[in-house]
């Protein structure tokens, strides 16, 4: 089957699946995900492994777009107002997650290395799933705002945490010692700094270009072309440079919003044009995973999933209390941050190449729990914002709004 | 009033300037970080994991790069060694040539010390005007390549002084690719080479002088670098050189810069040429000496070793598979047929095809041999009387028919489209769709090569076709002239 028709089917079936699942008040993205699972190699094989590989391109764009739009929250006004609280809250949530998962897995697997690596991978929250649920529910309020803020910063915390964990495992259980170990560690440290600083620098440089050029572009449609072009260049260059493309995309959005505050409506326009990409993103994410990986999940996987949710809730609760955040944030923040995907799988693959010894356990746990979390994450997020009373679900009919 | 505006304007300008500087600073530092990082890491993530062949190529390049680094003194030493080698060891290097009008190489003693080999040993090899050999001792034993098998049981040896003597092929080990020839006599004053170099003394990166003797009797010398040493099973070590050699160096000597004999050069027909370290070659030669010599008798069967899948198919662990029975041969008279498996000879178990060949060859002509044969579910016992070697060979190609082959080109090589006449087709077991992979050890990729080769071969010389049918590879020996319409 040609890829064109496959993409067509992805879109139509995703919409159908999303609508079906909305009937039982579950977020659309879960429907997309299920459609992917059904279309993918585990079931009907409409989406073959090769097709998934080819269409991966769309996922890249979708992820870049959503992260780019998250960048908005890094405008200086917002940062001055909420920067300190956000940073600390992110750290609390991250630390809570890492500690909870670490202790649980230390007990379950008996290997501190696996526990530490998984503990830091657990910090990751899928920004795209979380944000799309918020968007779908049209939510507004202190919880929504906090979630936006945290999701943006969380990736950085996760990457740094994972980097440090890699360090620790290398230093205490690696095969190298003495000078060789120092060399390896120095190189790792440099790589860690580079993947963070480099991606921010990439976002800034291209953000300047985007802002300068964008201020000379008259038409809205042209601005869209320019933005998409620069965004793709950002993602592509991030891969080439070996830096984090999510962070670079956020940095691009952040740079743009600070240099050209009037670009805020650009983000709104983008939000109206990109849903097809997100549909493809989730269908592909579903097609990627195999139901059989659920069988692999085992006791450690279940422990990981539960400890991760518990850790997020405890971290959020303690942090929000200490920082004097509103009650809704204290109660529901942890629950909104359960969605788990992309970056986690990436880190699992990365640890596979660095620590082949632990790779099997890590991969099984992550692949299994990502499958679970892709489903329960959005459900929990929606549940939380409904309970927090921040959802405003009434949408105008599509043709009405025209 | 106007003054305040002016002052305000100035501060705004200053602020703008400061802010511009500030932006430029941010932009430039970010760009600087990117450039630095890009130089450091750029492209590294996207780079595919290097394939093994790429790594090996890189390594190979590195090693051959060593050639540039020869110092003048090394060069002098190499030059003087080459002269010395040509003068001394050169005396022990002989040309090994086929005797004119020699009978078929078909029934030459094959010897292999690996009994569990999966494929039948290549009974014949590359067609070459001649190979080289190294005189081992004053008894007249000459070390050479296993390619010597293609010349038949008798060869002629040409020495440095132009003397030509006759020799007989003792045996050859087609796994290690070492052959042994015994000269009927040696000319006066042959100098034996220095055999003291141990197998473990071979070093990668070492210069080796290849010395062989061309059929005309002239010296053939070339310089090469020992690129790699590969460990085989047991104490087996193979050396690989950086450059190909002239065909006549096959079986020739490799001399190190100290003038010692380092090894023998072997050129298998379908594998890269390699160096058999001299210590190893001597050990093999000693084994070959104990193999019963000159094939005396013949019953007219062609055999194939049982590969793992054949063993499973027939449900037998040992035995020799009969590929072909020559018409009018003793075996045919006794009732042996293709696809029979010979289990026992004279009540003794047959371990492998080469064992059976050796057993038959060592019988005196006219002896009665009892063969126990498995044919499908039947177990048969038949007696056959061995015939003298040369006579029986002459019999087989007497019927004068020629094999007619129609060939078509395929991606895998020339394939048989039609084969005839029917009696020959049935006897040889060739089928349309069979792909011809090699003829007399020379591998073939295109129909044109095949036709050229068939036309170039003298009509009376037997041909050994390597045939691929599906996943299976096997050999078919053809005595008859081959015509390609």
Confidence of residue A81 (pLDDT cuts 50, 70, 90): confident
Minimal CA–CA distance to B343: which of B359, B328, B330? B359
Residue written as token pair 């809205």: A220
Contact yes or no for B41 and A198 at CB 8 A: yes
Q: Quick one: average pLDDT of B67-92? A: 64
Q: So what's the pLDDT on residue B46?
A: 43
Q: So what's the pLDDT on residue A354?
A: 67
Query: Residue B364, by phi and psi: left (phi above 0), alpha (psi -120 to 50) or beta?
Result: beta
Annotate A262-293 with DSSP letters as a single string: GGHHHHHHHHHH-HHHHHHHHHHHHHHS-TTH
Nearest-Cα distance to chain B for A319, in Å, is 33
The residue of chain B with its CA nearest to that of A200 is: B30
On whether any CB of chain A is under 8 Å from the CB of B48, the answer is no
Q: So what's the pLDDT on residue A203?
A: 94
Contact yes or no for B30 and A205 at CB 8 A: yes
The tokens for B177 are 């690719």
Nearest-Cα distance to chain B for A159, in Å, is 17
What sign does the dihedral A195-A199-A200-A202 (CA atoms) show? positive
Q: So what's the pLDDT on residue B47?
A: 35
What sign does the dihedral A210-A213-A218-A219 (CA atoms) show? negative
C-alpha B129, offset from chain centre: 17
Q: What is the pLDDT of residues A212-254, one digit of tens each?
A: 888 888 777 888 888 889 999 998 898 888 888 888 998 999 9
Nearest-Cα distance to chain A for B46, in Å, is 6
Tell me what percent of the residues of chain B surpass a pLDDT of 90.
Answer: 2
DSSP state of B235: T
Axis crossing angle, helix A298-323 with helix A76-109, rounded to the nearest 10: 140
CB-closest option in B26, B41, B44 to A204: B26
On whether any CB of chain A is under 8 Å from the CB of B40, the answer is yes
B40 interaction partners in chain A (CB closer than 8 Å): 194
C-alpha B254, offset from chain centre: 18
Q: So what's the pLDDT on residue B365?
A: 76
Contact yes or no for B41 and A242 at CB 8 A: yes
The tokens for A304 are 């990981």
Nearest-Cα distance to chain B for A259, in Å, is 9
Q: What is the pLDDT of residues A193-203, one digit of tens each?
A: 888 899 999 99
Q: Quick one: average pLDDT of A108-137? A: 87
Contact yes or no for B31 and A202 at CB 8 A: no
Nearest-Cα distance to chain B for A217, in Å, is 21
CB-closest option in A197, A200, A241 to B38: A241
Residue written as token pair 């769709």: B433
- Residue pairs between chains A and B whose CB atoms are closer than 8 Å: 49
Alpha-carbon gap, residue B365 to B459, rounded angstroms: 28
- Identify the weakest region by mean pLDDT among A13-27, B341-355, B437-451: B437-451
Nearest-Cα distance to chain B for A241, in Å, is 5
Contact yes or no for B27 and A198 at CB 8 A: no
On whether any CB of chain A is under 8 Å from the CB of B47, the answer is no
Axis crossing angle, helix A356-387 with helix A298-323, rounded to the nearest 10: 50
On whether any CB of chain A is under 8 Å from the CB of B27, the answer is yes
How many helices, marked H, and strands, marked E, lie in chain A? 19, 0
What is the overall mean pLDDT for chain A?
83
Alpha-carbon gap, residue B144 to B251, rounded angstroms: 4
Q: So what's the pLDDT on residue B75?
A: 62
Q: So what's the pLDDT on residue B106?
A: 33
Residue that wins the pLDDT comparison between B372 and B432: B372
C-alpha A109, offset from chain centre: 27
Q: What is the pLDDT of residues B290-308, one digit of tens each?
A: 765 555 677 878 788 787 7
Contact yes or no for B41 and A208 at CB 8 A: no
Spatial neighbors of A202 by CB under 8 A, at least 6 apart, are A234, A237, A238, A241, A243, A248, A251, A252, B30, B34
Longest CA–CA separation in chain A, Å: 70
The tokens for B352 are 């492998």
On whether any CB of chain A is under 8 Å from the CB of B33, the answer is yes
Alpha carbon distance, N-terminus to C-terminus of chain A: 35
The answer on pLDDT for B112 being more than 60 is no
Contact yes or no for A208 and B27 at CB 8 A: yes
Alpha-carbon gap, residue A32 to A17, rounded angstroms: 6
Confidence of residue A368 (pLDDT cuts 50, 70, 90): confident
Alpha-carbon gap, residue A391 to A274, rounded angstroms: 21
B29 interaction partners in chain A (CB closer than 8 Å): 201
The answer on pLDDT for B237 being more than 80 is no
- C-beta separation of A308 from A97 below 8 A: yes
On whether any CB of chain A is under 8 Å from the CB of B49, the answer is no
Q: So what's the pLDDT on residue A394?
A: 59
Tell me what percent of the residues of chain A surpass a pLDDT of 90.
Answer: 21
Confidence of residue B339 (pLDDT cuts 50, 70, 90): confident
> Which positions in chain A have a beta carbon within 8 angstroms of at least one beta carbon in chain B?
191, 194, 197-198, 200-202, 204-205, 208, 239-243, 259
Q: What is the pLDDT of residues A256-307, one digit of tens each?
A: 988 887 777 777 777 677 788 888 888 888 887 767 667 667 788 889 999 9
Minimal CA–CA distance to A114: which of A325, A332, A354? A354
Q: Quick one: average pLDDT of A105-109? A: 88
The tokens for B45 are 């993530």
Q: So what's the pLDDT on residue A399?
A: 61
Alpha-carbon gap, residue B231 to B229, rounded angstroms: 7
CB-closest option in B31, B45, B46 to A205: B31
CB A368: neighbour CB atoms within 10 A?
A: 23
C-alpha A344, offset from chain centre: 8
B31 interaction partners in chain A (CB closer than 8 Å): 201, 205
Nearest-Cα distance to chain B for A234, in Å, is 12
Contact yes or no for A201 and B34 at CB 8 A: yes
Alpha-carbon gap, residue A71 to A66, rounded angstroms: 9
3-state SS class at B166: strand
Best of B25, B34, B40 to substitute, by most chain A Cβ atoms within 10 angstroms, is B34
- Most confident of the ranges A22-26, A310-314, B31-35, B116-120: A310-314
DSSP H or E run through B9: helix B2-41
Rg (CA), chain B: 32
Contact yes or no for A198 and B46 at CB 8 A: no
- C-beta separation of A286 from A374 below 8 A: yes
CB A233: neighbour CB atoms within 10 A?
A: 15
Minimal CA–CA distance to B136: which of B273, B251, B268? B251
Residue that wins the pLDDT comparison between A399 and B337: B337
Q: So what's the pLDDT on residue A395?
A: 60
Annotate B193-257 with DSSP letters as a single string: P-----GGG--TT-EEEEEEE-TTS-EEEEEEEEEEEEE-STT-EEEEESS---GGGTT-EEEET
The tokens for B310 are 């054949």
- C-beta separation of B205 from B316 below 8 A: no
Contact yes or no for B30 and A243 at CB 8 A: no
Best of A186, A188, A202, A205 to substitute, by most chain B Cβ atoms within 10 angstroms, is A205
Contact yes or no for A201 and B46 at CB 8 A: no
Nearest-Cα distance to chain A for B190, in Å, is 58
CB-closest option in B23, B34, B40 to A202: B34
Q: What is the pTM of this model?
A: 0.49
Minimal CA–CA distance to B386: which of B318, B317, B333? B333
A201 interaction partners in chain B (CB closer than 8 Å): 29-31, 33-34, 37
On whether any CB of chain A is under 8 Å from the CB of B347, the answer is no
Q: Is A224 exposed, middle or buried (0-12, 13-18, 19+ CB in 10 A)?
A: middle
Nearest-Cα distance to chain A for B45, in Å, is 5
Nearest-Cα distance to chain B for A290, in Å, is 26
CB-closest option in B23, B27, B41 to A241: B41
Q: How many residues does chain A have?
A: 402
What backbone torsions phi and psi does residue B372 show, to the nearest 5 degrees?
A: -100, 125
Alpha-carbon gap, residue A63 to A246, rounded angstroms: 7
Q: What is the pLDDT of residues B426-440, one digit of tens each?
A: 777 788 888 888 887
Confidence of residue B288 (pLDDT cuts 50, 70, 90): confident
Task: Please list the residues that pair with A119 across neighbouring strands.
Answer: none
How many Cα neighbours within 13 Å face the side chain of B372?
Answer: 12
Q: So what's the pLDDT on residue A207?
A: 93
Strands B274-277 and B297-298: unpaired
CB-closest option in B30, B42, B45 to A201: B30
Residue written as token pair 């009974």: B123
The residue of chain B with its CA nearest to that of A207 is: B27
Q: So what's the pLDDT on residue B415?
A: 86
On whether any CB of chain A is under 8 Å from the CB of B37, the answer is yes
Q: Quick one: average pLDDT of A31-56? A: 82
The residue of chain B with its CA nearest to that of A258 is: B23
Nearest-Cα distance to chain A for B55, in Å, is 19
Contact yes or no for A240 and B46 at CB 8 A: yes
Alpha-carbon gap, residue B59 to A283, rounded angstroms: 45
Nearest-Cα distance to chain B for A10, in Å, is 28
- Identify the weakest region by mean pLDDT among A35-39, A231-235, B166-170, B364-368: B364-368
Best of B27, B29, B39 to substitute, by most chain A Cβ atoms within 10 angstroms, is B27
A240 interaction partners in chain B (CB closer than 8 Å): 42-43, 45-46
DSSP state of B248: G
Contact yes or no for A194 and B23 at CB 8 A: no
How many Cα neighbours within 13 Å face the side chain of B206?
Answer: 23
């Amino acid at each position: 089957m040609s890829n064109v028709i496959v993409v067509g089917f992805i879109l139509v079936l995703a919409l159908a699946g999303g609508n079906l699942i909305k009937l039982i008040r579950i977020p659309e993205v879960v429907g997309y995900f299920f459609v992917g699972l059904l279309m993918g190699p585990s079931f009907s094989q409409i989406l073959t492994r090769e097709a998934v590989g080819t269409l991966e391109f769309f996922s890249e764009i979708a992820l870049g777009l959503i992260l780019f739009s998250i960048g908005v929250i890094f405008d200086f006004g917002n940062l001055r107002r909420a920067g300190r609280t956000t940073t600390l809250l992110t750290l609390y949530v991250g630390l809570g997650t890492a500690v909870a998962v670490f202790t649980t897995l230390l007990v379950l697997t008996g290997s501190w290395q696996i526990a530490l690596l998984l503990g830091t991978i657990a910090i990751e929250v899928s920004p795209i799933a979380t944000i799309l649920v918020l968007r779908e529910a049209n939510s507004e309020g202190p919880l929504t705002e906090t979630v936006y803020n945290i999701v943006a910063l969380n990736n950085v915390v996760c990457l740094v945490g994972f980097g440090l964990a890699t360090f620790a495992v290398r230093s205490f259980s690696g095969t190298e010692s003495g000078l060789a170990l120092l060399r390896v560690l120095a190189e790792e440290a440099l790589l860690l700094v580079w993947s963070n600083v480099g991606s921010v620098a990439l976002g800034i440089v291209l953000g300047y270009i985007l802002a300068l050029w964008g201020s000379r572009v008259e038409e809205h449609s042209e601005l869209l072309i320019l933005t998409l072009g620069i965004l793709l260049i950002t993602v592509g260059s991030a891969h080439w440079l070996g830096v984090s493309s999510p962070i670079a995309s956020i940095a691009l959005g952040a740079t743009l919003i600070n240099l050209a505050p009037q670009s805020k409506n650009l983000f709104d326009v983008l939000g109206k044009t990109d849903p097809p990409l997100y549909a493809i993103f989730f269908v592909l994410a579903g097609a990627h995973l195999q139901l059989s990986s659920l069988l692999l999940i085992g006791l450690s996987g279940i422990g990981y999933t539960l400890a991760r949710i518990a850790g997020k809730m405890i971290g959020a609760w303690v942090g929000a209390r200490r920082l004097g955040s509103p009650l809704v944030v204290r109660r529901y923040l942890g629950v909104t941050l359960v969605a788990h995907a992309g970056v986690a799988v990436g880190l699992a693959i990365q640890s596979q190449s660095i620590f082949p010894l632990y790779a099997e356990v890590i991969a099984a746990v992550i692949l299994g729990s990502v499958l679970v979390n892709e489903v329960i994450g959005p459900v929990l997020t929606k549940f939380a914002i409904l309970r927090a009373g921040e959802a405003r679900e009434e949408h105008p009919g599509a043709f009405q709004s025209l | 009033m106007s003054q305040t505006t002016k002052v305000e304007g100035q501060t705004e300008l200053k602020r703008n300037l400061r802010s511009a500087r500030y932006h430029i600073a941010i932009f430039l530092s970010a760009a600087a970080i990117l450039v630095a990082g890009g130089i450091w890491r750029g492209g590294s993530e996207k780079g595919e994991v290097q394939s093994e062949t790429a790594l090996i190529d890189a390594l190979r390049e590195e090693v051959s790069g060593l050639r540039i680094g020869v110092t003048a003194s090394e060069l002098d030493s190499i030059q003087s060694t080459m002269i010395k080698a040509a003068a001394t060891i050169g005396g022990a290097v002989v040309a090994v040539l086929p005797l004119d009008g020699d009978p078929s190489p078909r029934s030459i003693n094959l010897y292999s010390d690996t009994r569990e080999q999966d494929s039948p040993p290549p009974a014949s090899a590359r067609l070459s005007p001649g190979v080289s050999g190294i005189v081992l001792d004053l008894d007249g034993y000459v070390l050479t390549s296993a390619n010597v098998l293609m010349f038949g049981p008798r060869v002629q040896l040409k020495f440095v002084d132009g003397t030509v003597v006759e020799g007989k092929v003792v045996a050859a080990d087609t796994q290690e690719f070492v052959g042994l020839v015994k000269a009927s006599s040696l000319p006066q004053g042959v100098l034996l080479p220095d055999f003291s170099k141990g197998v473990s003394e071979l070093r990668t990166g070492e210069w080796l002088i290849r010395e062989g003797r061309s059929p005309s009797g002239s010296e053939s010398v070339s310089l090469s670098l020992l690129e790699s040493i590969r460990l085989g099973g047991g104490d087996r070590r193979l050396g690989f050189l950086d450059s190909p050699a002239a065909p006549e160096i096959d079986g020739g000597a490799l001399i190190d810069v100290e003038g010692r004999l380092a090894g023998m050069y072997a050129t298998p027909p379908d594998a890269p040429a390699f160096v058999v370290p001299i210590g190893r070659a001597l050990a093999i030669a000693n084994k070959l000496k104990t193999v019963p010599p000159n094939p005396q008798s013949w019953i007219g069967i062609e055999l194939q070793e049982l590969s793992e899948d054949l063993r499973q198919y027939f449900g037998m662990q040992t035995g020799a598979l009969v590929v072909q029975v020559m018409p009018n041969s003793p075996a045919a008279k006794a009732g042996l047929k293709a696809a029979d498996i010979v289990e026992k000879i004279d009540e003794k178990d047959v371990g492998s095809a080469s064992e059976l060949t050796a057993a038959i060859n060592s019988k005196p002509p006219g002896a009665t041999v009892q063969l126990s044969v498995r044919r499908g579910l039947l177990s048969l016992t038949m007696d056959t009387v061995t015939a003298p070697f040369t006579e029986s060979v002459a019999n087989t190609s007497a019927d004068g028919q020629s094999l007619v082959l129609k060939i078509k080109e395929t991606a895998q090589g020339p394939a048989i489209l039609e084969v005839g006449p029917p009696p020959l087709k049935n006897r040889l077991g060739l089928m349309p769709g069979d792909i011809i992979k090699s003829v007399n050890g020379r591998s073939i990729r295109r129909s044109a090569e095949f036709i050229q080769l068939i036309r170039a071969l003298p009509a009376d010389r037997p041909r050994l076709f390597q045939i691929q049918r599906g996943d299976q590879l096997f050999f078919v020996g053809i005595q008859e002239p081959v015509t390609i319409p």
